[in-house]
Amino acid sequence: MECLSPAKIAELTTASGERKVGLSFRRLAVLGVLAGAYIAFGAEAYLLVLSDTAVFLGFGLSRILGGLVFSVGLILVVLAGAELFTGNSLIALSACCHRSSWRGVLRNWVLAYFFNMVGAVLVALLIFGARQYMLGDGSIGVAALRLAATKVSLPFWTAFFRGILCNWLVCLAVWMATGAMDTAGKVLAIIPPVTVFVASGFEHSVANMFFVPLGLFLKRVPSVVAAAGSVPGFQQLTWVRGFLLGNLLPVTLGNLVGGVLFVAVPYWLAYARSTENP
């Protein structure tokens, strides 16, 4: 399998960022919803694995398997085509090279973020309506409720730093997939970094737009709450204070830092800065 050099990847990423900044509202809205939905599908597969594999494989191996199946979300985003807020941290490279305005970059981030949430919550609603939480004698519902409660109970700085580490790896996955010359190469480039971030318990803002709302829906299902038993963080599982402010805010800030300062800026300094127009 052939792959491009890092310098060529930097060139393609800069050009891609320029195109993304120029997307119309309609296209960005549609592709943003799709990206949120695709990540949610990967997250749902992760819950399926998480619900019972720890019993047979132990903590570490079950998390690695969960990371492998979660990778389908980013694979769909890259191959099918969608606008994902976290991966779009890389469009900062085009602004650093003065080929896009920071105002245009911010517009892309805000719109992609909002419509990613629409797509992720939509899938959470559909999963809830389909009663997927009843599979495995209710084990998926229990896993989803416990995971959501765990996420909203994280301290602010813990969530922030986990957000940095997550999107550092996600943007590296997108970076390497850009350098792959065929479909198989792109898939293989995406899977390892995504598996590492998921297995390590790092925090992805768009994935949490699925995980936490699903947990909030399940909080109103007495049978799931009873099966889950005593869940640490259950009282903190609320829409505003728990989800939006307690988890999504620090994770989103961390994701931006991880993608921009740990991937886009270093590769701009290493490869793209010297080629800028004076």
CB < 8 Å & 24+ apart, contacts of 225-230? 225/145, 227/138, 227/141, 227/142, 228/141, 228/142, 228/145, 228/146
For residues 76 and 28, is the Cβ–Cβ distance under 8 A?
A: no
For residues 208 and 248, is the Cβ–Cβ distance under 8 A?
A: yes
Query: If the chain, 278 residues long, is cut into consecutive pieces of 10 residues, what is the mean pLDDT of each piece?
Result: 91 97 98 98 95 74 94 98 98 96 98 98 98 94 96 98 98 98 96 98 98 98 95 94 98 98 97 63
> Would you state the pLDDT for residue 143?
94
> Would you state the pLDDT for residue 186?
97
> Would you state the pLDDT for residue 133?
96
Instruction: Characterize 44-62 residue by residue with b for buried, 16 or more Cβ atoms within 10 angstroms of its Cβ, and e for exposed.
Output: bbbbbbbbebbeeeeeeeb
> Would you state the pLDDT for residue 278?
40
> Would you state the pLDDT for residue 57?
74
> Would you state the pLDDT for residue 55?
61
229 — phi, psi (to 5°)? Answer: 70, -150
Q: Which among 53, 13, 73, 20 has a CA at the least distance from the CA of 193?
A: 73
For residues 74 and 87, is the Cβ–Cβ distance under 8 A?
A: yes
> Would you state the pLDDT for residue 54?
63
